[in-house]
Structure 1
Amino acid sequence: MIRILAAACAVLALGLAVCAWLLDEKGEALANARGEVAQLQADADFFERAIQARDSVDHQFQEALGNVQAEHDHLADGIRTGKYRVYVNAKCPVSNPGTAGSVDAGRTELDPADGQRVADLRAGIQRLEAKVKGLQSHIREVCK
């Protein structure tokens, strides 16, 4: 009977040793999984901040482009209706120095269609400047 009891104790001890080993293995796996979860959460937080920065820059960029377009539309309407006029400074070379006239003709008004072209060029330049500023801001804020 003592032999049976000793054998049962040995089996129980072996079973406890196996259970302790399995528990230790599962504990290590759980610790590793928690570490991975923490890293994934940190990555998700980083990407969330990057997306928010990108969205903020994009909103500012879209607002700037909208302002450029609104200003262009206002200017174009004014040129078309005659409220605004486009002038250029002109200097006319003297072709016959003996004739009366001024070397500096002063301000010359452009035809409204040409004024519209000038306004379109101006708006195009402003759009390009807004795009460059938007890209620079994107690089500063999002790509850091």
Structure 2
Amino acid sequence: MKTLAGICVALVIGLLLALWRLDHVSASLTTATSRVGVLEGEAKAYEQALTVRDSIDHQYQEAIRNAEDSKPQLVADLNSGSRIVYVRAACVPANPNATGSTDAATPELAADARPDYADLVAANNKVTAQVTGLQQFIITSCTRSASR
């Protein structure tokens, strides 16, 4: 009988230890499951932020390309006279022996300055597109992250 009682006590102690261990493992599993849920939510939010960033980047990269691609057309328009650039200039008389009437050449951008003007316009458009893209990124991504 003593042996049977000893075996029963050992089984009860073993069962209690097994239940305690099972409870501990169950609590660890619950904690790990909740942490996985949080990490999955953060991963989805990060993926969405990347998608928004890529969309903004694509939009403004195209604006930058358009600014660079419009430069040859601007130079051609300046050379053909279909686009006029107004500059602050003094008109040199076409006839140095003026008779008193207005006789001056039409002020215009010098031929060698036209590519420089086109470079400036393209650079301005490119920088404007970059700044607009950065502003949009800040509005959509950075302010949303700060509000969390």
What range describes the TM-score normalised by the shorter chain of this pair? 0.7 to 0.9
- Pair 76,31 (structure 1): closer, same or farther in 2 beyond 3 Å: same
Does 1:116 pair with 2:82? no
> Aligned partners of 2:106, 2:139: CA distance in 1, in Å?
43
Q: Deviations over 1:97-120 (max 9, x none)?
A: xx72449x6952222221221121
Asked if the contact 1:69/1:123 (under 8 Å) is kept, the reply is yes
| SS of aligned partner of 1:109 | coil
1:10 Cα deviation after fit: 0.9
In structure 1, what is the equivalent of residue 38 of structure 2? 39
Give the structure-1-normalised TM-score.
0.81
Aligned residues: CA RMSD: 2.5
In structure 2, what is the equivalent of residue 125 of structure 1? 124
Residue 88 (structure 1) aligned to one of 86, 89, 113: 86
In structure 2, what is the equivalent of residue 100 of structure 1? 100
- Pair 19,87 (structure 1): closer, same or farther in 2 beyond 3 Å: closer
Asked if the contact 2:67/2:125 (under 8 Å) is kept, the reply is yes
- Pair 86,46 (structure 1): closer, same or farther in 2 beyond 3 Å: same
1:4 Cα deviation after fit: 1.7
> Where does 1:50-65 land on structure 2 (aligned, <5 Å)?
50-65=49-64
Identity of counterpart residues, as a percentage? 32
1:135 Cα deviation after fit: 0.7
> Aligned partners of 2:139, 2:125: CA distance in 1, in Å?
21
Instruction: Letter of the 2:100 partner, please give it.
Output: A
1:72 Cα deviation after fit: 1.3
1:73 Cα deviation after fit: 2.3
**More displaced 10-residue stretch of structure 1: 47-56 or 115-124:** 115-124
Instruction: Letter of the 1:70 partner, please give it.
Output: D
> Aligned partners of 2:65, 2:71: CA distance in 1, in Å?
10
> Aligned partners of 2:87, 2:45: CA distance in 1, in Å?
55
1:84 Cα deviation after fit: 4.6
| SS of aligned partner of 2:100 | coil
Asked if the contact 2:87/2:109 (under 8 Å) is kept, the reply is no
1:79 Cα deviation after fit: 4.0
In structure 2, what is the equivalent of residue 3 of structure 1? 2
